[in-house]
Structure formats: structure tokens, C-alpha cells
Amino acid sequence: MSDITLAASANAFEQIFTNIVQNFTYSKSDTASFGPFSASYAIALHLQDGTLTLNNDNTIDVSDLEIVFDTLTVDVCFTLPGWCVGGFCVVPDPWNGCLVPFPGFCIGAFSICPTIDLSGLVSEVTEFDAGLRVNYYVDPARLPGWSDLDAELHGHPNKWQIFINPTLVDINPIDVPATVANILENAVKNAIDSAIPSWVPGWAVDLLWDIIGPILNLIVDLLGIVGDIADWLESLLDDSFNILSFIETAITDYFAGQYPIYEFEDPYPVLEATPTLIPVKIPIRDLTATVDSQEMVVLANVGA
Amino acid sequence: MVATLDRNFFTQIGLDSGALTMLGVIVHTFGEASEYRGAVISGDGNEAIFYVSVDPGCAVAGVNIDLAALAGTAPGAAAGGQGPRYVVHPKGYAVFRVAGGPGGYAVSVRKAVEDPEVTAYDTRALQPGDIFSAILMRPGRYSVRNVLGDAKAEVTVSYPGDGKAAYKPPAPEAVELGETIEPAHIRLKPMQGMNFNVRTAARIVIELQEADDGPRAREAATD
């Protein structure tokens, strides 16, 4: 029989969980080279919704938890190779070659970095299995010679903390919409447009675009894309940049170690200090936290 | 991030075989073995000197002579006999071209040991057997004239397509220039070449008569 028993109903537990979810944010950026192109991304996201279920086997399930990408941009940088057109033969040789060619005209190579902006995309946490984890927190600012009373007076008491401890977090691959092909096409068009000097007359601009041809074909060839552009970008984010893994780790770390659902001081203050008396505090030992389908239960003993 | 586009591609609209630009090439066969001394004549009257050894003992079938590069050499140094020397077989081809810049060059070539006042060859009067090769960039309707004769023709350059397939200009149009120009009506795609096979003394001048600014301009004109 434990000395102390605390309980929080499933509803109260869910409210605490909602507060934790609402406080989660994560951001990251990175860049890497992939042979014919380099890419960089920037993400900033938060969590929303989520339904909590407490189970009799001391586990917690979370469903319908969504990841909202407030920022999700990808810059894809590559070099347009240049185009040489217009060459032809003036004097052929007898062997189907050319003795005198008229040289073609070349448009020089240049680099572009179109931005694909998918901000606002929503993904889903498909699996969120957890238990509870009890942690005894010793404030690193506490000096070795301090008593518990000294630590409290200096605002650095030890604490018991209870965390939701995810055992499995799995999120859906980022669902890049099929319209990303149009987004990329327009981004590349804009990048090329801005690279054409303003003095080039309209007919010459039309001629240049005619020489360049279909932009999507050009992109697919230059970047070595096999298959669908949306699938390619999804693979770039999920597999090459490993974004899903970073997000899963960030969610796990946040719940398991950054935001306790409940914490209290040790020794626990029973009576506040008065002008003539020091506070009365009792040490808490052997703390455990469990859940069943109805509530969270915290048990502890009073130590020596 | 700026595309390396040569402004001269898009601002030089017409052509003149007597004032060569990037859009034209003259091909000439010397025929007679000898040492030749040539001068590149710029629009401002400056000259740059070069030499051509027409040697039956060499196997060079064609030599490119870049007039822009020659015109960039110091005239004084060239006049002192330091101009570059090219070598070509008597049946080979001297190709006068302009690799960059505004152009407007003519070439005068005479035998080095002859009277320097006697012009053996001048691109301002092409000779039978020469080829003048030209590209027209700007869509529209052009007139073609031999200003040393009466021959005339008309060239129409169509407007670029819609980019649904990467455009490549078709093979060049062969044009015979004698007492007349055949064909008299030449239809070209943008950047499609024309090879004028010269059969009489000629200076070929191509001038824009009516610009074609494309479907957008035509729609705007009818609104």
C-alpha cells in the first residue's frame, strides 16, 4: 500500500495532452547535392487535433493527430546547359559530311534555383503508441553543497516529472500534390524569364522559348527524374532528406523529454514557510505512474 | 544570373554580303596557287591585314577566317607584315565569317607580289562560284536584291511556334543567284539558313520590309 495516491481522469488527461500538442513546434532546414542538381529545404510545422485513448494495458494511443506544415519550401538548383541551334552545312563533302559548316548560335549556360512552395500541406501521424515515463529531475543549477531547503530557496528544487513516452511514432509520407509539376514548371519558367535580359525583343523571347521547348521535358531530362514529378519530390523529401525521420524523432523527444504532463517538487511542500518557521516538506520516493481506460494513477511513498 | 545572349543576334535585322555580320558567311575558292595579302575593312575604314597561302601541297580543304578577331588586331602591327597567315588548298574554301560583335566587315584580297592597287578579290563584289550563306532571325517579310544587277526576290520568315516541341531549324534553302534569283519567293522558318550560290557578280542586300510581331501583336491590331 503506497503512502500517496493521485489520480487524473481520462478527460483531465486528454486536456493535458491537448495543451502539450498545441505547444509543439518544429523547424529545420538543410541542403545537399544530388549530382545533376542541389536542393535545399525549409520546414516549420505544428501539431493539431489528435484523439487520446487510455488502455487497460498501461498504454496510450493517439489517433487523428495532424502535422501542419506552416512552411515547406524546396529550392532546386541546377544549371541549364545552354542551347546551340541554327548550324547547317554550306558545302557538303562527298562522304555525307560537311566541308564548310555555318556555325550555330549558342545561348550560354546559366544556373537557376526555382522554389517550390508547398506551405500549408497537412500530413498525418498514423501511429502514436505510448506509455508513461517517470523522471527524477535534478536541476543542473543546483550546487552540490545545497540542502533541499537551500535548493528551494534558490528556486532550483529537484522534481518528479511524468512524461508521455512514445514507443512508436509513424507519420504518413508527405503527400506532394500532383500539381507540383505545374508549380515546378512555372517556377522554372519564371527563373528563365528573369534571366533573359530586358533588351531582348518580344519575337526573340518567343523564339528562345520555342528553342527551349517543353519545360517539363527539360526538367525531367536535366534532373534525371524517372516517373512522376510528385513522386520524385516526395522521395527527395522523405528518403533523401529524411524529413519524416527528423519529425518523428522531434515528436518523440518532445513528448518523452521536453514537456511533462505533470511535475512536482521533491521534497514536496506540505506547509509554507512563515516568518518564524521554515517550510514543512516531505520527501517523495518510489513514484510510479500508470494508466487504465478510466484514469491516470500516480503512486508514491514518503521517504526518510 | 544573366543569360549570355549576344545582343547582335537580335538587333541586326538585315544582311549585306558587302558588310558581313554574325548572320552571314562568305565562302570563296581562290583557285590559283599563290601568296595572297588580305585586308579586313571595317565600317570606319580601318584595315587589318592577313595572309593566305594557297598551296597545292597542303591538304587543307577549308579555312575559317574570323573577321572580328582580325579586326581586333592592331592595324599598325598588321600593316608591318605581322598579320596572321592562313593556308588552304587551291580547290579548298576560304570561309569569311564574323564570330562576334557588330560586324560590318568587307574583305579585299590581292596577290602579295602584284601591284597592290589591283584588287584580286573583294567581298563587296562576289564572284561566280562564291557562296553567301545567311540566317534571318526576325520574323517578317524581306526583300533580297543584287545591288550589282537587277535580280530580286522576297523572303518570308515565319513566327516562332508555341514551344510544344523543342524547335530545330530545318535544312537550309538553296538559292541560285544569276540574272534572276531562284526561287523568287523564299519561305523560311526562324534561323533557317539560305545558301546563295553566286553565278554572277553580286552584292546581296537583304532588308526587312514588314515585321511580323506574332499572334499577340496581330490580335492587338484587330482589337
Q: Which three cell numbers stand for residue A229?
A: 514529378
Cβ contact B188:B157 at 8 Å: yes
Residues of B in contact with A188 (CB under 8 A): none
Identify from B15, B133, B189, B210 which residue to disrupt to test chain A contact, counting A C-beta atoms within 10 A and taking the largest count.
Answer: B133
Residues 11-40 of B with CB under 8 A from A: 22, 25, 27
Q: Taking the domains of chain A in order of start, what are their residue ranges?
A: 4-302
Neighbours of A287 (CB within 10 A): 20
Identify from A75, A80, A85, A90 which residue to disrupt to test chain B contact, counting B C-beta atoms within 10 A and taking the largest count.
Answer: A90
Q: Cβ of A95 under 8 Å from any chain B Cβ?
A: no
The yes-or-no verdict on residue A147 having pLDDT over 90 is: no
Cβ contact A117:A61 at 8 Å: no
Tell me if the pTM is above 0.80. Answer: no
Quote the pLDDT of residue A127. 94
Residues of A in contact with B175 (CB under 8 A): none
CB contact under 8 A, B159 and A203: yes
Average pLDDT, chain A: 89
Quote the pLDDT of residue B79. 45
Neighbours of A266 (CB within 10 A): 22
Q: Which three cell numbers stand for residue B193?
A: 539558313
Q: Taking the domains of chain B in order of start, what are their residue ranges?
A: 13-113, 138-222
Determine the distance in angstroms separating the CA of A231 from the nearest CA of chain B, rounded to an integer: 24
Neighbours of A39 (CB within 10 A): 22
Question: What ipTM was reported for this prediction?
Answer: 0.83
Quote the pLDDT of residue A25. 96
Residues 133-162 of B with CB under 8 A from A: 133, 135, 137-139, 159-162
Query: Taking the CA of residue B146 as centre, how many other CA atoms within 13 Å lie in the half-sphere pointing to its CB?
Result: 25
Q: Cβ of B173 under 8 Å from any chain A Cβ?
A: no
Helix (H) / strand (E) containing A206: helix A202-212
The yes-or-no verdict on residue B2 having pLDDT over 80 is: no
Model confidence band, residue B116 (pLDDT cutoffs 50, 70, 90): low
Q: Cβ of A84 under 8 Å from any chain B Cβ?
A: no
Show Cβ contacts of residue A290 under 8 Å, excluding neighbours closer than 6 positions: A58, A132, A296, A297, A299
CB contact under 8 A, A210 and B216: no
Beta bridge pairs of residue A110? A80
Q: What is the 3-state secondary structure (H, E, C) of B145-185?
A: EECCCCCEEEEEECCCCCCCCCCCCCCCEEEEECCCEECCE
Q: Cβ of B216 under 8 Å from any chain A Cβ?
A: yes
Model confidence band, residue B77 (pLDDT cutoffs 50, 70, 90): very low
More confident: B142 or A139: B142
| Omega before residue B215 within 30° of 0, cis | no
Polymer length in residues for chain A: 304
Quote the pLDDT of residue B185. 97
